[in-house]
Amino acid sequence: MILLPCPYCGPRNVSEFRYVGEVSERPDPNETGVEEWRTFLYTRNNPVGWTTETWFHSAGCRQHLIAERHTMTNEVRASRLPEAQLPEGQEERATGGNVAGDGGGAIY
Amino acid sequence: MVERAPVARSPIAPAPPTTIEYGWEISARSSDAELKITDCTPLAKVLVLAPMYGELARALGVPFGRAARDTHGTLVVGSGPGEWLLLAAPGTNQAVGKRVEVVQDEGLVSVFDATHGRALIRITGPRTPDLLAKVCAIDFADEVTPDGAAFRSSVAKLVTDVVRDDSGGARSYLLHCERSSGQYLFDALIDAGDEFGIEVDGFVDPGDRGV
Put simply, whether A16 touches B (Cβ < 8 Å) is yes
Q: What is the DSSP string of B156-170?
A: TTEEEEEEE--BTTB
Q: In the predicted model, is pLDDT for residue A102 greater than 80? A: no
Cβ atoms of B123 and B114 within 8 Å: the answer is no
Answer whether A104 sits within 8 Å of B151, measured CB to CB.
no
Choose between A99 and B185: higher pLDDT.
Answer: B185
- pLDDT tier at A108 (50, 70, 90 boundaries)? very low
Report the pLDDT value the prediction gives residue A101, as an integer from 0 to 100: 43
Query: Bridge partners of B90?
Result: none
10-residue stretch averages of pLDDT, chain B, 211 residues long: 81 95 93 96 97 93 94 94 96 95 92 97 97 96 94 96 93 97 98 97 73 58
The rounded distance, in Å, linking the Cα atoms of B86 and B101 is 13
Contacts of A13 in chain B (CB under 8 A): 137, 154
The rounded distance, in Å, linking the Cα atoms of B42 and B203 is 8
User: In terms of CATH architecture, what is A3-85?
Assistant: 2-Layer Sandwich (3.30)
User: Chain B interface, mutation test: which of A58, A99, A108, most B Cβ atoms within 10 Å?
Assistant: A99
Phi, psi values for residue B181, rounded to 5°:
-105, 5
Put simply, whether A58 touches B (Cβ < 8 Å) is yes
Contacts of B99 (CB under 8 A, 6+ apart): B72
Instruction: Domain ranges for chain A, please list them.
Output: 3-85
Put simply, whether A61 touches B (Cβ < 8 Å) is yes
Residue B54: Cβ within 10 Å count: 19
- pLDDT tier at A106 (50, 70, 90 boundaries)? very low
Answer whether B137 sits within 8 Å of A58, measured CB to CB.
no
Distance from the A44 Cα atom to the nearest Cα atom in chain B, whole angstroms: 30
The ipTM, to two decimals, is: 0.88
- pLDDT tier at A32 (50, 70, 90 boundaries)? very high
Segment A92-106 mean pLDDT: 45
Report the pLDDT value the prediction gives residue B80, as an integer from 0 to 100: 94
**Of A15, A60, A108, Cβ closest to residue B144:** A108
Whether the full predicted model's pTM is greater than 0.95, yes or no, is: no
Sign of the CA dihedral B115, B129, B205, B78? negative
Contacts of A88 (CB under 8 A, 6+ apart): B53
Distance from the B163 Cα atom to the nearest Cα atom in chain A, whole angstroms: 11
- pLDDT tier at A104 (50, 70, 90 boundaries)? very low
- pLDDT tier at A89 (50, 70, 90 boundaries)? low
Report the pLDDT value the prediction gives residue B18, as an integer from 0 to 100: 94
Map out the domains of chain B with their CATH numbers: 16-42+117-204 (3.30.1360.120), 44-113 (3.30.70.1400)
